[in-house]
C-alpha cells in the first residue's frame, strides 16, 4: 500500500497540515498518540494580532489574519460545524498614561487595521474594572481546539486514514526516496510532534526554547461579556457563566504539572480586572513548542528530505498554522520557496 504523506502528531499543527494536504488531493495518514501530552489540548486557542504592552503586531499579521479567518470558516462550512469564534479583544487601560500611550501606538497606520473605533466602555463596567476606558482589537477570536481536533480526527477516521497510537522511530524507515511504516510506503513523513520533536532523532538539533504555560477554567455567575478581555491575563468567555483565564509563561520547571504558584499568579491578575466572584473548576498545564528565534520550524530535513517538520509554533499555533500549512503544501507539491524566516534551513549551520 502507498500513500503520499504520513503526518505524525495531531495537535493544531498536524490537524491543519493534514487538512490542507487532503484538500489538495493528497492521500494522508494522520497518526496521534492520545497517551502523549499535547499543548493544543490545553491552549485557549486565541488569535490576537496585537500582543503585549507595546501592541506588537504578530509576525506576518497582514497575511496570517485574513487567511486564518477564511481557512477556519471554510472548514466549518464544509463540515457543517462550528468551532471558530470571531471576537474582539477588549483591553482596559490601567491608567490615563496608558490610555495616551495606546492612542499614540494605534495612530500607526500599520496597527490601525487591527483596532476598532471607540468601544462602548460602559457596557463592560458591570463585570470588569475599566475606569480609564479601553481599546478593542479587531480580527481576533478563538478556536475551540478540542472540538477542532476532534472534528479533524473524525474526518480522517471516516476516510480510514487515521492511526491512533505512537509512531515509534524503530518502526519507521526513512529512505532516500520514500519512508516505510507498518507496511505502507509514503512519499514523505512530516513530524507535527510539538515539543516532543526535541526527542525526535531527525529534528532534535533544532533550537527549541519551550515555554510552560498554565490556564484556569472558572464559573462566574451572570458574566456575559461576549468579547475576550485582556489586561495582563485574558478572560475568554467559553459560554455564558464559564470563562478561561490565562496564561502563565515559564522557561523553567518544564513539566506538564499544574502548580500553586501558577494558580496564585493568575488569580492575582484576574482579581485586578474582574469585579465579581468566580469559582475555579479546573487548572491545566502545557508546554509550548517555542523556538530560540521565535520563528516556526517548517521544512524538509537536509540529509533526509523524505522527512519534514511542521512545528515550533510557540505561543501562536492557531494563528500561524493555516498560512504556513498553505506555504508548506505549495513547497511540497509545487516546488515554491518557503518563507526564509520559517524555513529550518536557517538553522542548518547549527
Ligand atoms: C496554557 C497555554 C495556553 C495557550 N494559549 C494559546 C492561545 O490562546 N493561542 C494559540 O495560538 N496558542 C496557544 N498556546 C500555544 C499552543 O498550545 C501551541 O502553539 C500549539 O498547541 C502547538 O501545536 P502543535 O500541534 O505543534 O503541538 P501539540 O499540540 O503539542 O501536538 C503534538 C501532538 O503530537 C503527538 N505526538 C508526538 N509524538 C508522537 C509520536 N511519536 N506518535 C504519535 N503522536 C505523537 C502528541 O500526542 C500531540 O498530540 C497555548 C499554550 C499553553 C500551554
Domain count for the chain:
2
Angle at 288 between CA 143 and CA 74, to 5 degrees: 25
Same domain as 301, residue 191: yes
Domain end position, chosen among 238, 254, 288: 288
Domain CATH number, residue 337? 3.50.50.60
Q: pLDDT tens digits, residue range 115-125?
A: 987 789 999 99
Residue from 9, 15, 42 whose mutation best tests the ligand 1 pocket (most atoms within 8 A of CB): 9
Phi and psi, residue 242, nearest 5°:
-135, 125
For residue 1 the three cell numbers come to 500500500
Q: Does residue 189 sit in helix, strand or coil? A: strand
**Which residue from 273, 246, 271, 242 is spatially nearest to 258, judged by alpha carbons?**
246
Task: Say if residue 262 is in the same domain as residue 223.
Answer: yes
The model carries a pTM of 0.98
User: Is residue 112, in this structure, part of any structural domain at all?
Assistant: no
Model confidence over 159-193: pLDDT tens digits? 999 999 999 999 999 999 999 999 999 999 999 99
- Phi and psi for 84 in degrees, rounded to 5? -105, 125
φ and ψ of 81, to 5 deg: -135, 175
342 touches 295 (CB < 8 A): yes
Q: How many residues does the chain have?
A: 350
Asked if 221 and 177 sit in the same domain, the reply is no
Residue after which a domain boundary falls, among 248, 267, 288: 288
Q: Would you say residue 73 lies in a domain?
A: no
Over residues 228-252, mean pLDDT: 96
Same domain? 174 vs 230: no
β-strands 28-32, 211-219: how paired? unpaired
- Relative to the CA of 38, which ligand 1 atom is closest? 30
301 CA distance to ligand 1 centroid (A)? 21
Which residue's CA is the closest to the ligand 1 atom numbered 26? Answer: 194
Same domain, 224 and 168: no
Residues above pLDDT 70, as percent of the chain: 99
User: Average pLDDT for residues 1-26, to the nearest whole number?
Assistant: 98
Q: Residue 286's closest CA among 200, 233, 215?
A: 215
pLDDT in the model for residue 350: 52
Q: Which of 272, 288, 304 is the last residue of a domain?
A: 288
- Angstrom CA distances, 167 to 35, 184, 334, stand at 12, 13, 28
The answer to the question of residue 304 being in a domain is yes
Distance (Å, rounded) from C-alpha 256 to C-alpha 242?
24
Average pLDDT for 203-229? 96
Residue 152 lies in a domain: yes
pLDDT tens profile 288-323: 999 999 999 999 999 999 999 999 999 999 999 999
Contacts of 223 (CB under 8 A, 6+ apart): 127, 237, 240, 241, 243, 276, 278
Which atom belonging to ligand 1 lies closest to the Cα atom of 248?
Answer: 1
Residue 121 lies in a domain: no
b/e code 125-150 from CB counts within 10 Å (16+ = b): eebbebebbbbbbbbbbbbbbeebbe
Residues 306 and 282 in one domain: no
pLDDT of residue 194: 98
Would you say residue 53 has pLDDT above 90?
no
Phi, psi of 121 (to 5 degrees): -55, -40
Cα 335 to averaged position of ligand 1 atoms, centre (Å):
28
Q: Does any domain span residue 124?
A: no
Cell of 243: 470563562
Q: Are residues 274 and 218 in the same domain?
A: yes
* pLDDT, tens digit (0-9, with 9 covering 90-100), for 140-153: 999 999 999 999 99
Pocket of ligand 1 (CB under 6 A): 8-14, 31-33, 36, 38-40, 42-46, 166-167, 192-196, 213-215, 246-247, 286, 288-289, 311, 313-319
Question: Residues 112-137: what's their mean pLDDT?
Answer: 92
Question: Hey, is 28 helix, strand or coil?
Answer: strand
Predicted local distance difference test score (pLDDT) of residue 118: 75
pLDDT at 349 over 70: no
Same domain, 196 and 219: no
In this structure, the answer to whether residues 162 and 267 fall within a common structural domain is: no
**DSSP secondary structure letters along 77-146:** HHHT---EEEEEEEEE-SSHHHHHHHHHHTTSTTTGGGEES---GGGTTTTB--TT-EEEEEEEEEE-HH
**DSSP-assigned beta bridge partners for residue 284:** 215
301 and 242, same domain (yes or no): no
**Do 172 and 301 reside in the same domain of the chain?**
yes
Same domain, 327 and 260: no
* Residue 154 belongs to some domain of the structure: yes
Ligand 1 centroid–CA 40 distance in Å is 4
What's the average model confidence in pLDDT over 55-82?
97
Q: Domain range holding 263? A: 211-288
* Cβ(84)–Cβ(72) below 8 Å: yes
CATH code at position 235: 3.30.9.10
Burial group, residue 16, by CB count within 10 angstroms (0-12, 13-18, 19+) = buried
In a domain, 116, yes or no: no
Provide the mean pLDDT of the chain.
Answer: 96
CA 168 to CA 161: how far, in whole Å? 18
Query: Which atom of ligand 1 sits closest to the CA of residue 286?
Result: 53
Residues 6+ apart with CB under 8 A from 168: none
C-alpha 11 – ligand 1 centre gap (Å): 5
DSSP state of 41: G
258 closest CA partner among 217, 314, 311: 217
Neighbours of 70 (CB within 10 A): 10
Amino acid at each position: 500500500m502507498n500513500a503520499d504523506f504520513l503526518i505524525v502528531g495531531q495537535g493544531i499543527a498536524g490537524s491543519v497540515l493534514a487538512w490542507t494536504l487532503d484538500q489538495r488531493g493528497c492521500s494522508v495518514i494522520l497518526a496521534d498518540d492520545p497517551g502523549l501530552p499535547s499543548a493544543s489540548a490545553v491552549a485557549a486557542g486565541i488569535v490576537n494580532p496585537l500582543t503585549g504592552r507595546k501592541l506588537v503586531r504578530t509576525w506576518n499579521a497582514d497575511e496570517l489574519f485574513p487567511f486564518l479567518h477564511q481557512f477556519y470558516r471554510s472548514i466549518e462550512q464544509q463540515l457543517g460545524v462550528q468551532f471558530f469564534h470571531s471576537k474582539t479583544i477588549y483591553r482596559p487601560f490601567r491608567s490615563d498614561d496608558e490610555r495616551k500611550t495606546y492612542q499614540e501606538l494605534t495612530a500607526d497606520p500599520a496597527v490601525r487595521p487591527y483596532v476598532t473605533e471607540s468601544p462602548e466602555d460602559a457596557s463592560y463596567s458591570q463585570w470588569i474594572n475599566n475606569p480609564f476606558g479601553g481599546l478593542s482589537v479587531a480580527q481576533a477570536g478563538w478556536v475551540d481546539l478540542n472540538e477542532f481536533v476532534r472534528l479533524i480526527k473524525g474526518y480522517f477516521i471516516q476516510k480510514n486514514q487515521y492511526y491512533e497510537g505512537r509512531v515509534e522511530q524503530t518502526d519507521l524507515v526513512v529512505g532516500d526516496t520514500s519512508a516505510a511504516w507498518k507496511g505502507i510506503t509514503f512519499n514523505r513523513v512530516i513530524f507535527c510532534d510539538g515539543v516532543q520533536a526535541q526527542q525526535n532523532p531527525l529534528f532534535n538539533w533544532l533550537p527549541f526554547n519551550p515555554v510552560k504555560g498554565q490556564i484556569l477554567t472558572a464559573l462566574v455567575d451572570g458574566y456575559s461579556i461576549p468579547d475576550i478581555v485582556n489586561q495582563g491575563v485574558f478572560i475568554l468567555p467559553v459560554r455564558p457563566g464559564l470563562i478561561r483565564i490565562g496564561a502563565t509563561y515559564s522557561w523553567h520547571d518544564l513539566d506538564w504539572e499544574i502548580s500553586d504558584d501558577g494558580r496564585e499568579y493568575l488569580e492575582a491578575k484576574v482579581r485586578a480586572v474582574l469585579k465579581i466572584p468566580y469559582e475555579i473548576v479546573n487548572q491545566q498545564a502545557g508546554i509550548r513548542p517555542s523556538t530560540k528565534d521565535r520563528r516556526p520550524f517548517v521544512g524538509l530535513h537536509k540529509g533526509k528530505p523524505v522527512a519534514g517538520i511542521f512545528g515550533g509554533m510557540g505561543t501562536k499555533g492557531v494563528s500561524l498554522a493555516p498560512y504556513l500549512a498553505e506555504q508548506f503544501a505549495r513547497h511540497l507539491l509545487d516546488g515554491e520557496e518557503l518563507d526564509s524566516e520559517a524555513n529550518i534551513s536557517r538553522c542548518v549551520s547549527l
